[in-house]
């Protein structure tokens, strides 16, 4: 039995479909089953919350493999999940981390992921670490300013990165969960096309047939304020500001060939992701 956390999220939605298609026995840890209504019917639902450790034992009963994804900052969710996994005798964890753990020095965003990796290593359960770079779905963070005035705030200017489609991360996770040979491996995952924010926005504009303006922000902090109009925990705001600053400095764009090597095909393109998500940008008021 495979237990999937984060099943209603960007990666988890795709992963449950991949595992369903492979015929795997699977269970989804969900806080609200209504949010999982469109996920494969065949998958069991277990109601639980990583923030409430007492809810986890029933969800982990009989589980031998775990896809672990924790949102936000800190390590409490990871510690709770790994304690439940140890108690249940889980044999393999596929853990969603971040490519930031490979940086020297590790930026704040990567430090939480690094600490989570250490908790899992210390448990002794065999693990596969998935360490992706920036997701294509981060473009959905631009919807509020597109809705407000048809523009995108660009905090990274000449900085380039190789965004990855969460569907590709899910495909790698599904492989690691269902085939032998992926334990004790670390996979750094990126797309294989390099973009500035302005180049990404141009592709969205071409896809929807409407020009979206790009406005460079004076400071990365300004972009963070737009992303969290109702405020964000200071530690998270600082970490994202630091992330934007690192992206601005990288004008080449960091990328790996890991997705292609593991899946035997090229990573999905940003144009493909835009085509699948065009409605959100065409009608941002409904997104």
Tell me which residues touch ligand NAP (CB under 6 A).
Answer: 5-12, 29, 31-32, 35, 49-51, 69-71, 96, 98, 132, 134-135, 138, 166
Helix axes 270-282, 197-208, angle to 10 degrees: 60
Q: How far is the CB of 139 from ligand NAP (least distance, A)?
A: 10
Spatial distance between the Cα atoms of 134 and 195, rounded to a whole number of angstroms: 11
Q: How far is the CB of 100 from ligand NAP (least distance, A)?
A: 7
| Nearest to ligand NAP of 50, 146 (CB atom) | 50
**First vs last Cα of the chain: how many Å apart?**
34
Q: How far is the CB of 106 from ligand NAP (least distance, A)?
A: 13
2 in Cβ contact with 24 (< 8 Å) = yes
Q: How far is the CB of 277 from ligand NAP (least distance, A)?
A: 13
Q: How far is the CB of 87 from ligand NAP (least distance, A)?
A: 17
Spatial distance between the Cα atoms of 222 and 224, rounded to a whole number of angstroms: 5
* Pairing state between β 44-47 and 92-96: unpaired
143 in Cβ contact with 232 (< 8 Å) = no
Q: How far is the CB of 105 from ligand NAP (least distance, A)?
A: 18
| Nearest to ligand NAP of 172, 218 (CB atom) | 172
CB within 8 A of 130, min separation 6: which ones?
94, 95, 96, 97, 169, 172, 173, 176, 187, 189
CB within 8 A of 260, min separation 6: which ones?
192, 266, 267
| Nearest to ligand NAP of 7, 66 (CB atom) | 7
Spatial distance between the Cα atoms of 21 and 98, rounded to a whole number of angstroms: 26
| Nearest to ligand NAP of 7, 24 (CB atom) | 7
Q: Which two tokens stand for residue 108?
A: 């704040």
| Nearest to ligand NAP of 210, 253 (CB atom) | 253
For tokens 């964890």, the residue is 93
Q: Which residue is nearest to ligand NAP (CB)?
A: 9
Q: How far is the CB of 180 from ligand NAP (least distance, A)?
A: 25
| Nearest to ligand NAP of 70, 241 (CB atom) | 70
| Nearest to ligand NAP of 50, 84 (CB atom) | 50
3-state class (DSSP) for residue 185: strand
Identify the DSSP state of 49: -
Nearest to 40 by CA among 174, 168, 183: 174
């Amino acid at each position: 039995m495979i237990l999937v956390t984060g099943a209603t999220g960007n990666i988890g939605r795709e992963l449950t479909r991949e595992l369903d298609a492979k015929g795997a026995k699977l269970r989804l840890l969900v806080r609200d089953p209504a949010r999982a209504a469109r996920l494969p019917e065949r998958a069991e639902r277990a109601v639980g919350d990583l923030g409430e450790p007492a809810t986890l034992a029933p969800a982990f009963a009989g589980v031998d493999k775990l896809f672990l994804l924790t949102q936000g900052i800190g390590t409490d969710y990871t510690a709770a999940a790994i304690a439940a996994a140890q108690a249940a005798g889980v044999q393999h964890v596929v853990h969603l981390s971040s490519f930031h753990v490979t940086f020297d020095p590790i930026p704040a965003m990567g430090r939480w992921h690094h600490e989570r990796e250490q908790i899992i290593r210390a448990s002794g359960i065999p693990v596969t670490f998935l360490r992706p770079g920036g997701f294509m779905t981060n473009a959905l963070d631009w919807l509020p300013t597109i809705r407000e005035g048809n523009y995108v705030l660009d905090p990274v200017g000449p900085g380039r990165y190789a965004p990855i489609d969460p569907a590709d991360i899910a495909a790698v996770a599904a492989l690691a969960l269902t085939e032998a040979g992926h334990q004790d491996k670390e996979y750094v995952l990126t797309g294989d096309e390099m973009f500035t924010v302005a180049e990404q926005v141009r592709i969205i504009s071409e896809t929807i047939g409407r020009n979206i303006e790009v406005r460079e922000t004076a400071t990365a902090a300004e972009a963070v304020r737009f992303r969290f109009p109702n405020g964000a925990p200071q530690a998270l705001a600082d970490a994202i500001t630091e992330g934007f600053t690192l992206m601005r400095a990288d004008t080449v764009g960091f990328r790996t060939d890991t997705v292609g090597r593991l899946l035997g095909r090229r990573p999905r393109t940003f144009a493909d992701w835009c085509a699948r998500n065009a409605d959100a940008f065409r009608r941002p008021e409904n997104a």
